[in-house]
Amino acid sequence: MNDPKPVRTIAVADLRYRGALPHIPDLLSTPSGQLSDRLHRPLRDLRISVTDRCNFRCSYCMPREVFDKDYAFLPQSSLLSFEEITRLARLFVAHGVEKLRLTGGEPLLRKNIEILIGMLAELRTPQGRELDITLTTNGSLLAKKAQSLKDAGLRRVTVSLDGLDDAVFRRMNDVDYPVADVLRGIEAAEKVGLAPLKVNMVVKRGTNDQEIVPMARHFRGSGAVLRFIEYMDVGASNGWRMDEVLPSAQVIRRIAEHFPLQALEASAAGETAERWRYVDGAGEIGVISSVTQAFCGDCNRARLSTEGQLFLCLFASQGQDLRGLLRGAYSDEQISAAIAHIWQARSDRYSQLRSAQGAELPAGQRRVEMSYIGG
């Protein structure tokens, strides 16, 4: 009796937020760089999640009770390759994207991410300009990687830091990671010229709001731009409650009691942060009021998930499967036309609707998790 043939195992992609395969228009028009959605918002910013993994377990993003040791992260076969990411980025740039932000999860956990940055840094806008390539990180690996990231072509970095008190910070990251190591990462990034550096603090009432003024005091005069973000209702795993949101207006009042502030104009269309400067010239801060003051009206951002799903809103429940096109027999012209069709049909404005009438998703739908789509 012959021995049975060995079984060949083929990895099956995990499509936990699987979207529909995008429609490809019959007419494949040439990109003009002036793509607009139904609310006349241009496409200027593409946020690319390169991994769904993170080495922190922050309660507002990847709470340990959900993302425990048994949580099944995406298999390698599901992730877009660097070549696939670059191919899509090139098509988005032709449609008007000028800024690429790499995110996660924790993007510095993606092996050889410097190679991807180098590939993206070679892209140019239709006018021949370099792209604004930036990255958001928790800072845990930044001290080690800052120089190689800069050498690869990264221009700026944003570091998430939710407090300076070590006990508060360790509680929030929930992996006992010391704040001193993040501060060393910030110092290393500034030293190699990843600037202007931004520091993002998610403010959760009753958890770390006592850190607002110490954070402002620490980063005043440093050249870094400190931004305070309202605790957001992204996804369904973080147990979000409105009573844990500290409105940005209160953040500004607390800081102004110690350091007088003056409002600034937005530096660019579609900017998420409301800007303020210290009257004494010690720099500026920003507040991102996505709960109490919606900024959907000029949102020019699209988001590409780790496995190639295109989302048009941070609060979306379903994406469009660009990876299906990449790995199918579709040309650049066809994929480009599909991207244009998706954006032109966009009318997302979740935060505005929530503010006006308490928007809820239809039964059976869930918002995409921030750890999957990136911030």
Question: 318 falls in which pLDDT band (50, 70, 90)?
Answer: confident
Confirm whether 33 is domain-assigned. Answer: no
Residue 302 lies in a domain: yes
207 and 201 in contact (C-beta within 8 Å)?
no
Would you say residue 112 lies in a domain?
Answer: yes
| 71 Rama class: left (phi>0) / alpha (psi -120 to 50) / beta | beta
**10: Cβ contacts below 8 Å, ≥ 6 apart:** none
85-130, pLDDT tens digit by residue?
A: 999 999 999 999 999 999 999 999 999 999 999 999 999 999 999 9
Tell me how many domains the chain contains. Answer: 1
In order, the DSSP letters of 330-341 are --HHHHHHHHHH
Name 158's bridge partners: 136, 198
Would the pLDDT of 35 be above 60?
yes
**Distance of alpha carbon 138 from alpha carbon 159, whole angstroms:** 6
Note the pLDDT of residue 368. Answer: 67
Of residues 274 and 352, more confidently modeled: 274
Rounded distance between C-alpha atoms, residue 358 and residue 94, angstroms: 37
Amino acid at 203: V
% of the chain with per-residue pLDDT over 70: 85
Per the model's pLDDT, the better-predicted residue between 13 and 11 turns out to be: 13
Name which residue leads in pLDDT, 298 or 30. 30
- Residue 295 pLDDT class (50, 70, 90 cuts): low
Q: Is residue 13 part of a domain?
A: no
358-372 pLDDT tens trace: 545 444 455 666 666
Domain range for residue 343? 45-373
1 in any annotated domain: no
Indicate whether 38 belongs to any domain: no
What was the pLDDT predicted at 362? 46
Map residue 208 onto helix, strand or coil: coil
pLDDT for the residue 6: 41
C-alpha to C-alpha distance for 209 and 39, rounded to whole angstroms: 36
Indicate whether 214 pLDDT > 70.
yes
C-alpha span between 238 and 195 (Å, rounded): 31
Give the pLDDT confidence score for residue 7 in this predicted structure.
Answer: 37
Whether pLDDT at 12 is above 50? no
Report residue 3's pLDDT band, with 50, 70 and 90 as the boundaries. very low
Residue 257 lies in a domain: yes
Neighbours of 16 (CB within 10 A): 14
**pLDDT tens digits, residue range 72-92?**
999 999 999 999 999 999 999
pLDDT at position 248 is 94
Whole-number mean pLDDT of the chain?
Answer: 88
pLDDT, residue 140, reads 97
Contact yes or no for 181/189 (Cβ under 8 A)? no
CATH of the domain at 70: 3.20.20.70
What type of residue is 261? L
pLDDT range class, residue 246, cuts 50, 70, 90: very high
Name the band, by pLDDT with cuts 50, 70 and 90, for residue 66: confident
166 within a domain of the structure (yes/no)? yes
pLDDT for position 2: 47
Q: Where are the alpha helices (DSSP H) in 193-282?
A: 212-219, 248-256
**149-182: pLDDT as tens digits:** 999 999 999 999 999 999 999 999 999 999 999 9
